[in-house]
Protein backbone atom coordinates (compact mmCIF):
# COMPACT_ATOMS: atom_id res chain seq x y z
CA UNK A 1 0.00 0.00 0.00
CA UNK A 2 2.82 2.38 0.93
CA UNK A 3 4.55 1.64 -2.39
CA UNK A 4 1.34 2.41 -4.25
CA UNK A 5 0.92 5.71 -2.39
CA UNK A 6 4.53 6.60 -3.11
CA UNK A 7 4.05 5.81 -6.80
CA UNK A 8 0.81 7.81 -6.90
CA UNK A 9 2.57 10.74 -5.22
CA UNK A 10 5.35 10.68 -7.81
CA UNK A 11 2.84 10.55 -10.68
CA UNK A 12 0.84 13.45 -9.24
CA UNK A 13 4.04 15.44 -8.69
CA UNK A 14 5.18 14.86 -12.28
CA UNK A 15 1.74 15.84 -13.59
CA UNK A 16 1.78 19.04 -11.51
CA UNK A 17 5.23 19.98 -12.83
CA UNK A 18 4.06 19.22 -16.37
CA UNK A 19 0.88 21.25 -15.86
CA UNK A 20 2.85 24.23 -14.52
CA UNK A 21 5.08 24.01 -17.59
CA UNK A 22 2.02 24.03 -19.84
CA UNK A 23 0.57 27.06 -18.04
CA UNK A 24 3.73 28.98 -18.90
CA UNK A 25 5.21 32.28 -17.74
CA UNK A 26 3.28 34.96 -15.88
CA UNK A 27 3.19 38.69 -16.51
CA UNK A 28 5.40 40.22 -13.81
CA UNK A 29 4.46 43.87 -14.29
CA UNK A 30 3.06 45.67 -11.24
CA UNK A 31 1.91 48.60 -13.41
CA UNK A 32 -1.15 50.49 -12.21
CA UNK A 33 -3.52 52.02 -14.75
CA UNK A 34 -5.53 54.61 -12.83
CA UNK A 35 -6.66 57.36 -15.20
CA UNK A 36 -5.96 55.27 -18.30
CA UNK A 37 -8.39 53.80 -20.81
CA UNK A 38 -8.16 50.41 -22.49
CA UNK A 39 -10.16 48.76 -25.28
CA UNK A 40 -10.28 44.96 -25.42
CA UNK A 41 -12.06 43.48 -28.44
CA UNK A 42 -13.84 40.17 -28.02
CA UNK A 43 -13.79 40.54 -24.24
CA UNK A 44 -17.09 38.89 -23.37
CA UNK A 45 -15.39 35.50 -23.03
CA UNK A 46 -12.08 33.62 -22.94
CA UNK A 47 -8.71 35.33 -22.71
CA UNK A 48 -10.31 38.64 -23.69
CA UNK A 49 -12.41 38.63 -20.53
CA UNK A 50 -9.47 37.46 -18.41
CA UNK A 51 -7.39 40.31 -19.85
CA UNK A 52 -10.15 42.82 -19.12
CA UNK A 53 -10.45 41.64 -15.52
CA UNK A 54 -6.73 42.07 -14.90
CA UNK A 55 -6.61 45.54 -16.48
CA UNK A 56 -9.69 46.68 -14.58
CA UNK A 57 -8.17 45.38 -11.35
CA UNK A 58 -5.17 47.63 -12.05
CA UNK A 59 -7.48 50.66 -12.16
CA UNK A 60 -8.02 51.16 -15.90
CA UNK A 61 -11.25 52.25 -17.49
CA UNK A 62 -11.96 49.17 -19.62
CA UNK A 63 -14.11 49.20 -22.75
CA UNK A 64 -15.47 45.77 -23.61
CA UNK A 65 -15.80 45.95 -27.40
CA UNK A 66 -18.04 43.00 -28.35
CA UNK A 67 -20.46 42.05 -31.12
CA UNK A 68 -23.32 40.68 -29.03
CA UNK A 69 -24.95 43.25 -26.77
CA UNK A 70 -26.56 40.78 -24.38
CA UNK A 71 -23.34 38.82 -23.86
CA UNK A 72 -21.31 42.01 -23.73
CA UNK A 73 -23.44 43.59 -21.03
CA UNK A 74 -23.39 40.34 -19.05
CA UNK A 75 -19.60 40.35 -19.34
CA UNK A 76 -19.48 43.86 -17.86
CA UNK A 77 -21.11 42.51 -14.70
CA UNK A 78 -18.62 39.63 -14.53
CA UNK A 79 -15.59 41.88 -15.04
CA UNK A 80 -16.84 44.35 -12.43
CA UNK A 81 -17.43 41.57 -9.93
CA UNK A 82 -14.14 39.74 -10.48
CA UNK A 83 -12.01 42.90 -10.59
CA UNK A 84 -13.78 44.75 -7.80
CA UNK A 85 -13.91 47.83 -10.06
CA UNK A 86 -16.85 49.71 -11.54
CA UNK A 87 -15.16 51.57 -14.39
CA UNK A 88 -16.06 48.95 -17.02
CA UNK A 89 -18.39 49.60 -19.95
CA UNK A 90 -19.71 47.77 -23.01
CA UNK A 91 -19.57 49.24 -26.52
CA UNK A 92 -20.92 47.33 -29.48
CA UNK A 93 -18.39 46.35 -32.15
CA UNK A 94 -18.93 43.85 -34.95
CA UNK A 95 -15.58 43.30 -36.64
CA UNK A 96 -17.37 41.52 -39.51
CA UNK A 97 -18.88 44.89 -40.50
CA UNK A 98 -16.72 47.83 -41.58
CA UNK A 99 -19.75 50.05 -40.96
CA UNK A 100 -19.86 48.83 -37.36
CA UNK A 101 -16.11 49.40 -36.91
CA UNK A 102 -16.46 52.98 -38.15
CA UNK A 103 -19.50 53.59 -35.94
CA UNK A 104 -17.66 52.24 -32.91
CA UNK A 105 -14.65 54.47 -33.55
CA UNK A 106 -16.83 57.53 -34.09
CA UNK A 107 -18.76 57.01 -30.85
CA UNK A 108 -15.61 56.18 -28.90
CA UNK A 109 -13.78 59.29 -30.08
CA UNK A 110 -16.76 61.47 -29.20
CA UNK A 111 -17.32 60.02 -25.74
CA UNK A 112 -13.86 59.03 -24.48
CA UNK A 113 -10.97 61.41 -23.95
CA UNK A 114 -8.19 58.83 -23.74
CA UNK A 115 -6.99 55.61 -25.30
CA UNK A 116 -3.82 54.24 -23.75
CA UNK A 117 -3.96 50.56 -24.68
CA UNK A 118 -5.75 48.90 -27.60
CA UNK A 119 -5.92 45.12 -27.44
CA UNK A 120 -6.98 43.49 -30.71
CA UNK A 121 -8.04 40.20 -29.15
CA UNK A 122 -11.21 39.06 -30.95
CA UNK A 123 -10.99 36.22 -33.42
CA UNK A 124 -13.08 33.61 -35.21
CA UNK A 125 -12.30 30.09 -36.39
CA UNK A 126 -15.01 29.26 -38.91
CA UNK A 127 -15.87 29.74 -42.53
CA UNK A 128 -18.29 32.43 -43.65
CA UNK A 129 -18.51 35.86 -45.23
CA UNK A 130 -18.48 39.31 -43.66
CA UNK A 131 -21.08 41.98 -44.32
CA UNK A 132 -18.64 43.48 -46.84
CA UNK A 133 -18.09 40.26 -48.78
CA UNK A 134 -14.72 39.32 -47.29
CA UNK A 135 -13.83 35.87 -46.00
CA UNK A 136 -14.94 35.82 -42.37
CA UNK A 137 -11.60 34.90 -40.80
CA UNK A 138 -9.65 37.39 -42.91
CA UNK A 139 -12.30 40.05 -42.32
CA UNK A 140 -12.65 39.65 -38.56
CA UNK A 141 -9.17 38.52 -37.54
CA UNK A 142 -7.32 41.06 -39.67
CA UNK A 143 -9.26 43.67 -41.67
CA UNK A 144 -11.64 44.67 -38.87
CA UNK A 145 -8.75 45.20 -36.46
CA UNK A 146 -6.68 46.91 -39.16
CA UNK A 147 -9.42 49.50 -39.70
CA UNK A 148 -10.15 49.91 -35.99
CA UNK A 149 -6.50 50.51 -35.18
CA UNK A 150 -6.06 53.09 -37.92
CA UNK A 151 -9.20 54.99 -36.95
CA UNK A 152 -8.01 55.25 -33.34
CA UNK A 153 -4.33 55.98 -34.00
CA UNK A 154 -4.51 59.77 -33.65
CA UNK A 155 -6.08 59.44 -30.20
CA UNK A 156 -3.38 57.00 -29.16
CA UNK A 157 -0.66 59.35 -30.39
CA UNK A 158 -2.22 62.15 -28.36
CA UNK A 159 -2.15 59.92 -25.25
CA UNK A 160 1.35 58.52 -25.80
CA UNK A 161 3.10 56.56 -24.49
CA UNK A 162 0.49 54.04 -25.58
CA UNK A 163 0.45 50.48 -26.87
CA UNK A 164 -1.33 48.34 -29.46
CA UNK A 165 -1.40 44.61 -28.79
CA UNK A 166 -2.65 42.16 -31.43
CA UNK A 167 -3.34 38.54 -30.50
CA UNK A 168 -2.03 36.22 -33.20
CA UNK A 169 -1.25 32.51 -32.77
CA UNK A 170 1.48 29.93 -33.20
CA UNK A 171 -0.44 28.81 -36.27
CA UNK A 172 0.77 31.91 -38.11
CA UNK A 173 3.79 29.74 -38.90
CA UNK A 174 1.58 27.70 -41.25
CA UNK A 175 0.14 30.73 -43.01
CA UNK A 176 0.92 31.96 -46.51
CA UNK A 177 -0.52 34.96 -48.33
CA UNK A 178 -1.70 34.29 -51.88
CA UNK A 179 -2.77 37.71 -53.16
CA UNK A 180 -4.17 36.25 -56.38
CA UNK A 181 -6.50 34.12 -54.27
CA UNK A 182 -7.40 37.16 -52.19
CA UNK A 183 -8.19 39.18 -55.30
CA UNK A 184 -10.51 36.46 -56.59
CA UNK A 185 -12.13 35.20 -53.39
CA UNK A 186 -11.64 38.08 -50.89
CA UNK A 187 -9.89 35.53 -48.66
CA UNK A 188 -6.45 33.89 -48.52
CA UNK A 189 -7.93 30.44 -49.14
CA UNK A 190 -11.03 28.53 -50.14
CA UNK A 191 -12.82 25.37 -49.05
CA UNK A 192 -15.03 24.09 -46.25
CA UNK A 193 -13.16 21.05 -44.93
CA UNK A 194 -11.52 20.98 -41.51
CA UNK A 195 -8.08 21.35 -43.06
CA UNK A 196 -9.24 24.23 -45.28
CA UNK A 197 -10.46 26.09 -42.19
CA UNK A 198 -7.15 25.36 -40.42
CA UNK A 199 -5.10 26.82 -43.28
CA UNK A 200 -7.30 29.87 -43.74
CA UNK A 201 -7.19 30.63 -40.02
CA UNK A 202 -3.39 30.30 -40.14
CA UNK A 203 -3.25 32.79 -43.02
CA UNK A 204 -5.25 35.30 -40.97
CA UNK A 205 -2.89 34.89 -38.02
CA UNK A 206 0.11 35.56 -40.28
CA UNK A 207 -1.68 38.77 -41.27
CA UNK A 208 -1.68 39.78 -37.59
CA UNK A 209 2.09 39.40 -37.31
CA UNK A 210 2.81 41.19 -40.59
CA UNK A 211 0.38 44.00 -39.71
CA UNK A 212 2.23 44.60 -36.45
CA UNK A 213 5.60 44.48 -38.24
CA UNK A 214 4.55 47.18 -40.70
CA UNK A 215 2.65 49.23 -38.11
CA UNK A 216 5.78 49.56 -35.97
CA UNK A 217 7.64 51.11 -38.89
CA UNK A 218 4.86 53.64 -39.44
CA UNK A 219 4.75 54.53 -35.73
CA UNK A 220 8.44 55.30 -35.33
CA UNK A 221 8.91 58.54 -33.40
CA UNK A 222 5.32 58.66 -32.10
CA UNK A 223 5.88 56.93 -28.73
CA UNK A 224 3.14 54.48 -29.69
CA UNK A 225 4.43 50.92 -29.73
CA UNK A 226 2.86 47.68 -30.96
CA UNK A 227 3.29 43.97 -30.43
CA UNK A 228 1.83 40.70 -31.74
CA UNK A 229 1.72 37.53 -29.71
CA UNK A 230 0.94 33.86 -29.37
CA UNK A 231 -1.22 33.30 -26.28
CA UNK A 232 -0.56 29.56 -26.36
CA UNK A 233 -2.99 26.69 -26.86
CA UNK A 234 -5.95 27.62 -24.73
CA UNK A 235 -9.22 26.02 -23.72
CA UNK A 236 -11.59 28.77 -24.92
CA UNK A 237 -14.76 29.14 -27.00
CA UNK A 238 -12.77 29.75 -30.21
CA UNK A 239 -13.49 26.18 -31.34
CA UNK A 240 -17.19 26.35 -30.43
CA UNK A 241 -18.14 26.11 -34.12
CA UNK A 242 -16.24 22.88 -34.74
CA UNK A 243 -17.91 19.44 -34.78
CA UNK A 244 -19.53 18.61 -31.42
CA UNK A 245 -18.29 15.00 -31.42
CA UNK A 246 -14.76 16.23 -32.15
CA UNK A 247 -14.95 18.66 -29.23
CA UNK A 248 -16.38 16.10 -26.79
CA UNK A 249 -14.26 13.04 -27.60
CA UNK A 250 -10.94 14.57 -28.61
CA UNK A 251 -10.59 18.28 -27.88
CA UNK A 252 -11.85 18.35 -24.27
CA UNK A 253 -9.63 15.50 -22.96
CA UNK A 254 -6.59 16.97 -24.71
CA UNK A 255 -7.41 20.47 -23.45
CA UNK A 256 -7.70 19.29 -19.85
CA UNK A 257 -4.05 18.24 -19.80
CA UNK A 258 -2.28 20.13 -22.55
CA UNK A 259 -4.09 23.48 -22.91
CA UNK A 260 -3.79 26.62 -20.80
CA UNK A 261 -6.70 28.04 -18.86
CA UNK A 262 -7.85 31.52 -19.85
CA UNK A 263 -5.99 33.30 -17.05
CA UNK A 264 -2.71 31.72 -18.15
CA UNK A 265 -3.58 32.40 -21.79
CA UNK A 266 -3.93 36.12 -21.06
CA UNK A 267 -0.45 36.49 -19.58
CA UNK A 268 1.48 37.28 -22.76
CA UNK A 269 -1.18 39.81 -23.78
CA UNK A 270 -0.76 41.48 -20.39
CA UNK A 271 3.02 41.36 -20.70
CA UNK A 272 2.89 43.16 -24.05
CA UNK A 273 0.39 45.71 -22.74
CA UNK A 274 2.16 46.47 -19.47
CA UNK A 275 5.75 45.31 -19.20
CA UNK A 276 8.22 48.12 -18.69
CA UNK A 277 11.28 48.32 -20.95
CA UNK A 278 10.00 46.55 -24.08
CA UNK A 279 9.43 49.71 -26.12
CA UNK A 280 12.50 49.00 -28.26
CA UNK A 281 10.89 45.70 -29.26
CA UNK A 282 7.95 47.40 -31.00
CA UNK A 283 6.77 45.36 -33.96
CA UNK A 284 8.06 42.08 -32.56
CA UNK A 285 6.25 38.83 -31.84
CA UNK A 286 5.97 37.46 -28.29
CA UNK A 287 5.14 34.10 -26.77
CA UNK A 288 5.30 32.90 -23.16
CA UNK A 289 5.96 36.50 -22.02
CA UNK A 290 9.15 36.79 -24.08
CA UNK A 291 10.10 38.06 -27.51
CA UNK A 292 10.50 35.29 -30.10
CA UNK A 293 12.19 34.85 -33.44
CA UNK A 294 9.87 34.44 -36.42
CA UNK A 295 10.25 32.91 -39.85
CA UNK A 296 11.39 35.11 -42.71
CA UNK A 297 7.87 35.38 -44.14
CA UNK A 298 6.58 36.87 -40.87
CA UNK A 299 9.05 39.77 -41.03
CA UNK A 300 9.20 40.26 -44.79
CA UNK A 301 9.12 44.04 -45.35
CA UNK A 302 7.76 43.83 -48.90
CA UNK A 303 5.05 41.33 -47.93
CA UNK A 304 4.00 43.39 -44.91
CA UNK A 305 3.85 46.55 -47.01
CA UNK A 306 1.77 44.87 -49.71
CA UNK A 307 -0.64 43.48 -47.10
CA UNK A 308 -0.97 46.99 -45.63
CA UNK A 309 -1.72 48.56 -49.00
CA UNK A 310 -4.29 45.90 -49.90
CA UNK A 311 -5.86 46.23 -46.44
CA UNK A 312 -6.16 50.00 -46.90
CA UNK A 313 -8.12 49.43 -50.10
CA UNK A 314 -10.36 46.70 -48.70
CA UNK A 315 -11.15 48.67 -45.55
CA UNK A 316 -11.88 51.90 -47.44
CA UNK A 317 -8.95 53.84 -46.00
CA UNK A 318 -7.52 54.59 -49.44
38-95 pLDDT per residue, tens: 999 999 999 999 999 999 999 999 999 999 999 999 999 999 999 999 999 999 999 9
Q: Could you say which DSSP state residue 236 is in? A: S
pLDDT of 37 over the 90 cut: yes
Q: Which amino acids are annotated catalytic?
A: 201
How far apart CA 298 and CA 304 sit, in angstroms, is: 8
In a domain, 25, yes or no: no
pLDDT of 279 over the 60 cut: yes
* Residue in 71, 303, 89 with CA at minimum distance from that of residue 175: 303
In a domain, 233, yes or no: yes
Greatest Cα-to-Cα distance within the chain, rounded to the nearest angstrom: 74
In a domain, 168, yes or no: yes
Contact, 131 vs 63, CB < 8 A?
no
In a domain, 1, yes or no: no
**Domain at 44, CATH number:** 3.40.50.720
Residue 311's domain comprises 35-315
Dihedral (Cα; 295, 298, 300, 305), 10-degree rounding: 180
pLDDT of 247 over the 60 cut: no
In a domain, 260, yes or no: yes
pLDDT of 20 over the 50 cut: no
User: Mean pLDDT lowest for which of 113-127, 194-208, 256-270?
Assistant: 256-270
Domain count, the chain: 1
- Count the Cβ atoms, other than its own, within 10 Å of residue 302: 7
How far apart CA 31 and CA 280 sit, in angstroms, is: 18
In a domain, 71, yes or no: yes
At residue 163, the pLDDT reads 98
As a whole number, mean pLDDT of residues 95-124 equals: 98
In a domain, 17, yes or no: no
In a domain, 206, yes or no: yes
Amino acid sequence: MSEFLMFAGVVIGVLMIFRNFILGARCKSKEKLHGKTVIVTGSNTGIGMATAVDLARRGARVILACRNQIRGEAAVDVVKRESGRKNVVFMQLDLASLKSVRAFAEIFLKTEKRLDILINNAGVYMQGTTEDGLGLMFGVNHIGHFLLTNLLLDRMKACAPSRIVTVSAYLHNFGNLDFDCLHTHKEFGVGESGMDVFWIYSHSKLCNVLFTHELAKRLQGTNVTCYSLNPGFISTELARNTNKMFRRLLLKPIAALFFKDVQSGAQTTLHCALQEGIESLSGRYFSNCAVQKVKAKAKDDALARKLWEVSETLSGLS
